[in-house]
Amino acid sequence: MRTWAFIDLVVDHKTGKLRETSLWSNIGKAAMTWAFIYTVYAKQSSEWLWAAYGGVVVLHETASRFFNQKQQALDKQNGTTS
């Protein structure tokens, strides 16, 4: 059984190739998380910052999963595999 590693965040588990969309998505989330933590630490936060940060993270994940499911359904309908 293979254990999880950080490289799994950006590498396709089937092919072992780098997935650029995952790489940049995770870099963006990490940068946004750092900026959020820094702003809270500097005591410059407000309830709007919390709402904006949470909204962006949740909406990105929701949209990503939605489009992934749509693409899988199209691939299945067309008989292609990726």
Does residue 20 or residue 81 have the better pLDDT? Answer: 20
Would you place residue 80 in the very low, low, confident or very high pLDDT band (cuts 50, 70, 90)?
A: low
Distance CA 57, CA 25 (A): 11
* DSSP-based three-state secondary structure for 18: strand
Q: For the whole model, what pTM was predicted?
A: 0.56
Query: Are 25 and 64 a contacting pair, CB within 8 Å?
Result: yes
Under the banding of pLDDT at 50, 70 and 90, the label for residue 63 is confident
Which pLDDT does position 81 carry in this prediction?
59
pLDDT confidence tier of residue 39, bands split at 50, 70 and 90: confident
